[in-house]
Amino acid sequence: MIKQKTSVVFLDANGNSDRKIQIPTFVVKNWKRIVVLGIFVICLACSTIVYLATKNTSDRYEKELTKKIEALEAAKKSLASEEASNQMSMEQLQKSFDAIDSTINQINAKMRKRGLKDIAPKIKNVGGPVEEEVDIEELTKFYKKELKNLDKKLEGIPLGIPHHGKITSRFGYRRNPFTNKGREMHSGIDIKGRIGEPIKATAAGKVTFAGYKGQYGRVVIVEHSNGWETRYAHLSGARVRSGQRVDAGQIIGTLGSTGRSTGPHLHYELLSYGRKLNPEKTLRF
């Protein structure tokens, strides 16, 4: 089939023919439909371009949003884990504090059994509301202070052995060791040893006497806190002087046999507010 064409003549301003072209007759007859169709195609193309661009942007935003959600989920898990860890730490701290309280109670029971004062006595005439919230920092300070006070008090209480040796004479009445007749009160304990062996203080305190004193021979007397006093007699020599501060376990003299003595030994006495007690009860805690 031969396509029909229609000539289109272009005229200039003077009405003269300028140019002529041939257009299919179908186009001339249906130009309105073709224009509408062209507009539709253009709109469709523009819509497609806008859709693709919007979808691309949406995908990018969706990915970014997904990443943020994942980050928030990770942070949430981290916080949950940290909270669980803190809870465990709180429980462990509470167990530690309970253990300290239990230890102090045991020490107090032993102190009372020996007729000594409590390390941490009960507080009287106090009161106030109980705070449920636990302040770890303040609680730690409290226990540090308590343990420091406990350590300080224990330092000033005569406990332990001044010299490792066999006890040859105990506290109380005994037969006279020189005549082997009659009875006499022995106000301390005698610990056998060799001349020159070290003698140690059983508690921190202040030396009130260091020298020769009658039947004690060469003796060191140490005054401790809360009315305690210890005496170390029959020494061959003193390592401290009167007025000097000494620590628990510090060497204060050397074993000897001076004064009223039948042989090398340490005569160890323990006093509480001037009253002589049996020191053997405080050799082990």
Check whether 270 has a pLDDT greater than 80: yes
The first and second tokens of residue 80, run together, are: 């949950």
3-state secondary structure of 92: helix
**How confident is the model over 213-218, as a mean pLDDT?**
96
- Of 29-38, 140-149, 264-273, which has the strongest mean pLDDT? 264-273
> pLDDT for 57-93, tens place per residue?
656 666 776 776 677 777 777 766 666 655 556 677 7
Check whether 214 has a pLDDT greater than 80: yes
CA 180 to chain centroid, in Å, comes to 60
Residue 183 contacts residue 174 (beta carbons within 8 Å): yes
Q: What's the confidence (pLDDT) of residue 1?
A: 46
Closest CA to 257 of 236, 239, 238: 236
Between 139 and 163, name the one with better pLDDT: 163
What does residue 205 show for φ and ψ, rounded to 5 degrees? Answer: 175, -160
Report the residue count for the chain: 285
> pLDDT for 230-250, tens place per residue?
999 999 999 999 999 999 899
Q: How far apart are CA 138 and CA 75, in angstroms?
A: 30
Q: How confident is the model at residue 181 (pLDDT cuts 50, 70, 90)?
A: confident
Least trusted range by pLDDT, from 28-32, 47-51, 123-127: 123-127
Between 182 and 237, name the one with better pLDDT: 237
Pairing of strands 17-24, 167-169: unpaired
Between 149 and 126, name the one with better pLDDT: 149
**How confident is the model over 188-194, as a mean pLDDT?**
96
- CATH architecture of the domain covering 167-282: Distorted Sandwich (2.70)
Q: Tell me how crowded residue 256 is: count the other CB atoms within 10 A of its CB.
A: 23
Check whether 277 has a pLDDT greater than 90: yes
**How confident is the model over 40-49, as a mean pLDDT?**
78
State the pTM of this model. Answer: 0.56
Q: How far apart are CA 222 and CA 282, in angstroms?
A: 16
Q: How far is CA 165 from CA 22, 215, 251, in A?
A: 137, 22, 16
Q: What's the confidence (pLDDT) of residue 106?
A: 75
Structural domain spans, the chain: 5-65, 167-282
CA 183 to chain centroid, in Å, comes to 57
